[in-house]
Amino acid sequence: MQPTPHMPVYLDNAATTPVDPAVAAVIAECLTAEGVFGNPASRTHVYGWDAEERVEQARSELADAIHCDPREIVWTSGATESDNLAIKGIALARRSAGRHIITSKVEHKAVIDSCRWLEQQGFEVTWLDPAGNGAVDPDAVAAALRPDTVLVSIMAVNNELGVCSDLEAIGALTRSAGVPLHVDAAQALGKMRLDLSVLPVDLMSFCAHKVYGPKGIGALFVRRRRDLVLEPQMHGGGHERGLRSGTLATQQIAGFGHACVLAANALTEECARLTELRARFLEAVFELPDVKLNGDVEHSVPGIVNLAFAGVDGEALMLALAADVACSSASACTTATIEPSHVLRALGLDDALAHASIRFSFGRFTTREEVDFAAARVVETVTRLRVASATPDLAAGR
Ligand SMILES: *Cc1c(COP(=O)(O)O)cnc(C)c1O
């Protein structure tokens, strides 16, 4: 994709990705009268049977990508719903066993607000501070575990920083304490290897629209274990083994399944390509003085970088870049408010530096030319804004 005069270079793939054309073709096959349009719950005719078969194929495709049993997948509307179902579902089912939950201050709002709601219902939540790079320290989880802890929820990859937490270590701790571990993996799917046959994780949230699938579809992995019981949050026809009622969206599910196949096939190559693009981008942007990387490149997925440009307002920078580069000043979900990012705050950044931070996220369709163009525009714009703020007369147009 060449930068066009009309559309800026898209470097916000952590907010959402375009649907892969091959995925769009699969979706189109499940819509019209000629396609697989039936209700997967219809048991009395071939339209229903075909739709059910399509849904089960997709369930196997996701299960294969993360190395679990297809029966461990529950379809939802997205990672927000998966987080809600996992956290409220486990907490409410276990409330007589204990009312303590452990999570971190850098989680996605879907996790944070689900835990906040549970606080109002009489649960106690330990909010862990991240380590300096934004990852959650397994030792902090160990120190917070209590006999009445009923759930630990820690994200796999932080959506603002790209930083990964050590799920093996955290899972080993929760497993030996007998506490279920939920992981929000919305930013991990398709970006790193996820092997649930060895990862000691009990519940994992996913969505399709961060892996070149459609919006409005997600999944929750629920490990098949007799003691892992969830209180459903959606009541109705008893779909998805009673865990999530509602007619299954065949076209979204089929698209998600195909997106998983493509992501698994491309994983190694895509990681290498994105690592090169990131290095290129950082090399160009670090020509500027006073640029700080938030997070930790060594322990991050390659597609996400978060940079603080000291002395520049992030909003002003994004506005100045808007015609050329589409990026994000905080997680897209918080741009409705002008609070500085809760993640950057938890990292200890002051408000000024948090406001001067921007996330750039590269993806499958990002080209080298786009990265070079964007980096050049960032360098130029930051330099200009810094000169302007150092010379107020110029800034005011005098
Ligand atoms: C995008 C995202 C979500 C929300 O997913 P939706 O499918 O948009 O509801 C949750 N958690 C993380 C880490 C995300 O990046």
Name the token pair of 361. Answer: 């996220």
Q: What is the CATH number of the domain that holds 82?
A: 3.40.640.10
Distance CA 198, CA 84 (A): 25
Whether 222 is covered by a domain: the verdict is yes
Mutate which of 84, 112, 154, 187 for ligand 1 pocket (most atoms within 8 A of beta carbon) = 187
Rounded CA separation 315/97 (Å): 46
Arithmetic mean of pLDDT over the chain: 94
Query: For the ranges 249-258, 306-315, 336-345, 366-375, which has the lowest average pLDDT?
Result: 336-345
> What CA dihedral angle connects 252, 257, 258 and 259, to 10 degrees?
80
- End position of a domain, from candidates 261, 292, 320: 261
Residue 333 annotated as catalytic: yes
Q: Which domain holds residue 145?
A: 21-261
Pairing verdict, β 203-207 and 181-184: parallel
Return the pLDDT at 332: 46
Q: Please give the Cα distance from 152 to 136 (Å, whole number).
A: 12
| 154 Cα to the center of ligand 1, angstroms | 14
Q: Quick one: pLDDT at residue 374?
A: 97
Same domain flag for 347 and 248: no
Q: Where are the alpha helices (DSSP H) in 194-304?
A: 250-285
With a 6 A CB cut-off, is 208 part of the ligand 1 pocket?
no
> Which residues on adjacent β-strands are paired with residue 153?
182
Q: Which of 82-86, 271-275, 318-322 has the lowest mean pLDDT?
A: 318-322
Q: In the block, which residue shows the tokens 């927000």?
A: 80
Mean pLDDT in residue range 200-223: 98
Whether 309 shows a pLDDT value over 90: the answer reads yes
Whether 215 and 298 share a structural domain: no
Regarding the beta carbon of 214 and ligand 1, being less than 6 Å apart is answered no
Q: For residues 190 and 218, is the Cβ–Cβ distance under 8 A?
A: no
Tokens of 44: 């009395």
Which domain CATH number covers 377?
3.90.1150.10
* CA gap 138, 141 in Å, rounded: 5
| pTM, two decimal places | 0.95
Per-residue model confidence (pLDDT) at position 398: 46
- Boundary residue ending a domain (261, 293, 323): 261
* Cα 290 to ligand 1 centroid, rounded to whole Å: 31
**Mean pLDDT for the stretch of residues 119-144:** 98
Neighbouring C-beta atoms of residue 120, cutoff 10 Å: 7
Share of the chain above pLDDT 70, in %: 94
Centre of ligand 1 to C-alpha 159, Å, is 8
Pocket test for ligand 1, best of 207, 304, 341 (most atoms within 8 A of CB): 207
Mean pLDDT of the region 251-265: 98
Q: Is 93 exposed, middle or buried (0-12, 13-18, 19+ CB in 10 A)?
A: middle
Between CA 131 and CA 112 the distance in angstroms is: 18
Lookup result for tokens 């698209």: 255
Among 261, 285, 313, give the residue marking a domain's end.
261
Residue 283 is predicted with a pLDDT of: 98
> Phi, psi (5° rounding) for residue 150?
-110, -10
The reply to whether 2 falls in a domain is no
Is residue 3 a part of any domain in this protein? no
Q: Indicate the pLDDT class of residue 316, thresholds 50, 70 and 90.
A: confident
The total of structural domains in the chain comes to 2
Sign of CA dihedral 137, 142, 148, 149: positive
| pLDDT (tens digit per residue) in 332-347 | 445 555 678 999 999 9
Pick the range with the lowest mean pLDDT from 259-263, 305-309, 329-333, 368-372. 329-333
